[in-house]
Structure 1
Amino acid sequence: MLTAAPQVVESPAMPAGRQRLRILDLLRFCAAFAVVLFHFGDTRAWGGPNAFPTLSAVTMFGVYGVRMFFVISGFVILMSAWGRSPGDFASSRIARLYPAYWASVIILGALALVGLTTDHRPTLSELLANLTMLQHGLRIRDLEIVYWTLWQELVFYVLIAVFAAIGITYRRCLAFLAGWLFLLAIAERVNADLLQAVLIPFSAPYFIAGMALYLIHRFGGSLLPWLLVGAGWALALVQVLGENPPAVQRFGEALGSALVVGVISLIFVVMILVALGRLDGIDWRLLTVLGALSYPLYLFHHHIGFLLIGRLHAPLGKMITLPLVVVLVLALAYAVYRLVEVPLQPRLRAALDRSIRADAGYLDGRG
């Protein structure tokens, strides 16, 4: 139900309202786990196609887990940036993304260099580019297939950092999102490469919807944010139905398209329930750990899973190998979280904060 327009104090410094929503931790983990099952059911490491024909009829929809990631990112990143300076926002995002990512590049790069898990041995320049997370923009090959989504996230973060520099308010958010939608159409119409690169049309409908849902969560529902959510949903469906997705190939055009529409719509419905507070009762502490596992699980599962499945499925059989490999990659994700992210994230964040504020002592007469 639409409510009256929210009473908004137009100040970028209004209370940030960044209370933890553990339901988002659960959804992040579910999205990552769906991607894991999609890749494990589809990998050629089993020695042939359709290793699990019945199971893959369901897990194939895990390919849309990245769409859930993008909607969650739109919601969470706006929540994180609200009331923060661009420097604070940037340091928090860098500290969040890079420790586990660097670990994945180093470990997976070493495996690739010795000829494990991939047909391509990266060059030194490819490894160095991948360490920056900018390789996609530089048109250099991703070391790991899942890295492509990180470029989408990076561009989004830069857009939000610029927005934070201007000052994030409710009305400016509405204008920002409406402008983003309009420019997407312009970029498609004129085939402008620069606009396409900046506006990230693949993920933009999900980021836009996620941001609009955060406005609804924070300020209450009103017509304009709901229209933005609807526009994001419509553009997402236009996009995904034009991709000839795997579901269409397996189930036929009509049924396959209906299933894809259902999956994308379910993602939006779940996030609408989050925005409206209908899932606030799901607030278990364990979910925080599951949320923390989602990023390292996403980064490591494909290469490591390919390696383990290739080595284990012949002696153990596929029915034992699949659950065993799932458990092993979950254990690896937990190890990366505890041994890499927990110690390094706060140190990197503190170092970045000191660097951003390095001129404070000089301006105060201490430099």
Structure 2
Amino acid sequence: MNFSLLSREARLKSPGSRQISPPPAAPADAPAPAEASAPETPKSPTAPAAPRAAGGRLAALDGLRFIAAAIVMLHHFVIAPYAWGIGEPQRLFDSTLVVVSGYGWLGVEFFFLISGFVICMSSWGRSIGQFVTSRITRLYPAYWAAIVVTTLIVYTVAEGKGVSAVSVWDRLLNLTMLQEPLGAPAVDAVYWTLWVELRFYLLFAIVVWRGVTYQRVIVFCALWMTAATLATAIDNRTLEILLIPESAPFFIAGIAFFLMRRNGPTLLLWGIVAFAFAFSQHSVIARQESTEWMMHHNMPSWPTHALVTLFYVVMAVLALGYLDRIRYPWLTTLGALTFPVYLIHCEAGWALIIALRGRFNPHLVVFMVMLWVLVVAWLIHVLVEKRVAPRLSTGLKRAFATMPKD
């Protein structure tokens, strides 16, 4: 099986695409878990909504993050032809499962929407050093572990197929998470979304550097949306790389939803969300067309529009506090597994499916590989993230605190 078929340009435009063969997915940095506040009612109808007091963890947000990862994984395991062959998923799987999994690439857009919410929430009151530290410790330990796991699985189970185009030095470069802008192949298909997230962090770091305030975040959203629109209109590749217009509306809407949660909804915030919603409904169709070509699977566009609408509605319900009563502890556990699940499921999952597909029922194969992903993700969370992240955080904080000012 040779995955080195598609161009780097296709990877950038299609959800879950890979360096060697592009599918969709794409968390996605799956947004990090964060704490949110409980709603506080303004004292009078005319008074502005006060910032909501600090509260407990948003279990519902953890659940939504895991759902986004799960539907991306389902998409890659069922409909993607790289594990089953072109046209085979439609023959092997239940027709309903094929239809549902066909739209799983939209989990990436849901990731980006959630990420805007989470990054704005977790950056409030932080210095630029704290912001950088939190992002590095959140992303890199699990990412490094995922590269090791994926490489081991592909070379032991699939005899190197799928990453044969990735040299030792390119795999070393992958550890920096900067292989995409440098034009090097990625170890796993889904890593393209990390480059999208990194650019979002870079843009939002400007706000953090100045100090996160309500007004500055509003101005940031307005300027970013305007600039992203202009970048698309003038077809300037450099600006498109910097401003990520195809993903910007999801991040911006997520930011606006957090402002609603923190300060209460206003006409201005709803206007930002409405603008982002219209923009995202336009840009997502280009993503669908690219995905259809890669997956050899055509889909009507109305479910795409309906699902994007559903994502916005769910985030609005979350922002307005209607999901605060959902506090199941197991959702927090699922939320913690989301990022490792996303990072390890694709390339390693395909390798395992190829190894098992001739021995078991296809539905059972998908179930077994999903179970394997969950177990390994839990091990990465417990053995790597919980142990490495605190030490990395301590070291980075010390480095920033002792950094010379001249």
TM over 0.5: yes
Residues 180-195 of structure 1: pairs in structure 2 closer than 5 A: 180-195=224-239
Q: Does 1:52 align with 2:82?
A: no
Between the aligned residues of both structures, percent identity stands at 39
Residues 149-298 of structure 1: pairs in structure 2 closer than 5 A: 149-245=193-289, 256-298=300-342
Q: Is the 8 A contact 2:163 2:187 kept in 1?
A: no
Residues 283-322 of structure 1: pairs in structure 2 closer than 5 A: 283-322=327-366
Which of these residues, 136, 140, 143, is aligned with residue 101 of structure 1? 143
Instruction: Report how far residue 241 of structure 1 moved.
Output: 2.4
Paired letter, 1:283 = R
Paired letter, 1:336 = I
Structure 2 stretches of 5 or more lacking a match? 1-44
Q: Is 82-91 or 256-265 further displaced after alignment? A: 256-265
Q: Is the 8 A contact 2:128 2:205 kept in 1?
A: yes
- Partners in 2 of 1:348 and 1:18 — Cα distance? 27
Residues 128-139 of structure 1: pairs in structure 2 closer than 5 A: 128-139=172-183
Q: Is the 8 A contact 2:73 2:342 kept in 1?
A: yes
Paired letter, 2:130 = D
Q: Is the 8 A contact 1:135 1:141 kept in 2?
A: yes
Aligned residue-pair number? 352
Q: Does 1:122 align with 2:163?
A: no
- Partners in 2 of 1:84 and 1:227 — Cα distance? 27
Q: Is the 8 A contact 2:155 2:161 kept in 1?
A: no
Paired letter, 2:264 = G
- Partners in 2 of 1:183 and 1:261 — Cα distance? 24
- Partners in 2 of 1:41 and 1:111 — Cα distance? 19
Structure 1 stretches of 5 or more lacking a match? 9-13
Q: Does 1:88 align with 2:125?
A: no
Alignment partner, residue 40 of structure 1? 77
- Partners in 2 of 1:305 and 1:244 — Cα distance? 23
Counterparts in 2 of 1:103 and 1:188: CA distance versus 1, 3 Å:
same
- Partners in 2 of 1:354 and 1:333 — Cα distance? 29
- Partners in 1 of 2:125 and 2:210 — Cα distance? 11
- Partners in 2 of 1:6 and 1:59 — Cα distance? 44
Counterparts in 2 of 1:47 and 1:260: CA distance versus 1, 3 Å:
closer
Counterparts in 2 of 1:336 and 1:94: CA distance versus 1, 3 Å:
same
Paired letter, 1:174 = I
Q: Is the 8 A contact 1:208 1:232 kept in 2?
A: yes
RMSD over equivalenced CA pairs, Å: 2.4
